[in-house]
Structure 1
């Protein structure tokens, strides 16, 4: 059966006339090549709505990635960070750490990987009943879990160097706000959170004066013994999460050092351990990263934990992160943030 709707989806109105013409062999070859490229682009970006990075943009993104402080060059050596326990961001620190907002409230974190792409956790952009999910998973009925994706226009992304002031509620998000345009998720397993990864494309590019991207890893990158996680997490069991540098109780974005524990090759998850403190509710979707010898910050994982009490005294805490190294092809396909044959830094 001839599907006219299918034809309208793929072709402009004059295309059938072009197909009926007799073309010279060389022009037929060129036409077939162009047609193949068009179909490939359509498969990668349905309805031609997504804006993958060009090759030039991808190379430039790689050159400028991974700074510690916005507006400062990459340092020539490893930067000393505070150890386990966590601390509040300094001004202009980790500018690529994003905050996701819905209805004016922060609810998840994310990380900038290009001028217009934010990587986060799939469960941050999917709506479902958490109690029902846990019950159905307990009964091994994951196929019965109902979820739907949030509309992109409902999500704002706060990003940039300015600190988030949460010492009074509601939090004051002085960072630059960008609206989501398109959301792409992996097929997340609702029970073990395998493939808990989502890509948010923004409606406009992030200005370099606002933020630049974190660096992407190679697929064979070995995790450091000490890794770092950042986000907007606030422990529901305590209105105050960490202390600032003056020993005063503080809210807002924090970074915490984590000890690398293991990689689950089946679930594509990185496991870390912390003593007494870990990532909190709201850190979901935030980056797990390490720093190379050149001082560049390299993305390793995306926070997939949903810890309710992130401050358990005298207990080791396990945190779970989706392994970005295992998802580089997917990220490249939908964002254009792709590994380079030879690193430019």
Structure 2
């Protein structure tokens, strides 16, 4: 029927944005120029050129993913502030690798934030609809250090497979719960994590008496000693496409209990493909 075909059309359009959002540049290309992640290892520089650092007053507080020349995908919790703030205090750094170097070698570029779009149904208690889009004031410049991510397709399933998550979050589990400012990773790190079925994840939470409900719009990944941690919110959970081996973003880090103790929880990107498309289309319409 007509509704069925309209749904397919919307999904196709969203998928197209994931593929060609830099004027025909194919998404998901990785560049290995040189040989809050717990249990991970440093990435190669430019291995994941779509991962960006979100900063406030020049300090990293979350991560995000380039999905369009003017848009970065992240978690809503990252850009929902207790008090109103000026957008001029926020910036997005593409090409970041060494987090705390005063001058990033060649690749890092800072972009001002023009607007923030938080999903209207975001619930900060349950973390349902924990997703947001950041619009940059100007288009990101394409380079081996700045490249668009591929987004997952609506029909793809990942239960029981292995994903990869990257970020600059805390790497020392012992220090992640201290009240002082946690020490973030000096470089972008990655770790392979098993992807859980939601029911199995919920059972693990219940057994550990962790009062959290895993909703249909969420997914779980991680194992003991391999997880995201403080400072990793907004980081992408990725998996390789079966047909061309490119990385695609399947989840956005939103939290969990502890670091490397129970599976981490992620916003399931494929649930929000129409919303992501609508955000981009709203600003591109004449």
The TM-score bracket by the shorter chain reads 0.7 to 0.9
Distance 1:177 1:114 in 2: 16
Tell me the residue number matched to 2:20: 60
Q: For structure 2, which runs of at least 5 residues remain unmatched after alignment?
A: 1-12, 177-184, 200-213
1:156 to partner: Cα distance: 0.7
Q: Equivalents in 2 of 1:173, 1:149: separation in Å?
A: 30
Query: Quick check: 1:227 aligned with 2:163?
Result: yes
TM alignment of 1:15-26, pairs within 5 A: none
1: CA distance, partners of 2:39 / 2:274: 34
Name 2:117's counterpart in structure 1. Answer: 184
Number of the residue aligned with 1:124: 78
Cα distance in 2 for residues equivalent to 1:126 and 1:285: 12
Q: List aligned pairs for 1:42-191, cutoff 5 A.
A: 60-61=20-21, 63-69=25-31, 85-128=39-82, 150-160=85-95, 163-166=97-100, 173=104, 175-186=108-119, 187-191=121-125
SS in 1 for 2:230: coil
User: Which has more radius of gyration?
Assistant: 1
**1:267 Cα deviation from its structure 2 partner:** 4.4
Q: Which residue of structure 2 lines up, in the alignment, with residue 321 of structure 1?
A: 266
TM-score, normalised to structure 2, is 0.73
Report the count of equivalent residues: 236
Question: Counterparts of 2:266 and 2:219 in 1: how far apart (Å)?
Answer: 5
Aligned partner of 1:36 in structure 2 is none
Q: TM-score under structure 1 normalisation?
A: 0.61
After the TM superposition, which residues 277-292 of structure 1 pair with which residues of structure 2 at under 5 Å, given as runs? 277-292=226-241
RMSD, aligned CA: 3.1
Residues 1:92 and 1:58: Cα distance change in structure 2 (over 3 Å): closer
- The answer as to whether partners of 2:228 and 2:264 remain within 8 angstroms in 1 is yes
Q: 1:274 offset after TM fit, Å?
A: 1.5
SS in 1 for 2:125: coil
Q: Residues 59 and 217 (structure 1 numbering): CA distance in 2 closer, same or farther, change over 3 Å?
A: closer
For residues 227 and 286 of structure 1, the distance between their equivalents in structure 2, rounded to whole angstroms, comes to 13
Residue 331 of structure 1, CA deviation: 0.5
CA offsets per residue over residues 174-197 of structure 1, 9 Å max, x none? 511111111000121121110000
Q: Secondary structure at the match of 2:274?
A: helix
Show structure 1 runs of 5+ residues with no match.
1-52, 72-83, 129-147, 241-249, 338-345
Q: Spell out the pairing of 1:228-307 with structure 2 (5 A cutoff).
A: 228-235=164-171, 251-263=186-198, 266-293=215-242, 294-305=244-255
Query: Contact (CA 8 Å) 2:40, 2:189: kept in 1 or not?
Result: yes
- Structure 1 runs of 4+ with >4 Å offset: 55-59, 170-174, 235-240
Distance in 2 separating the partners of 1:94 and 1:254: 10
Where does 1:197-208 land on structure 2 (aligned, <5 Å)?
Answer: 197-208=131-142
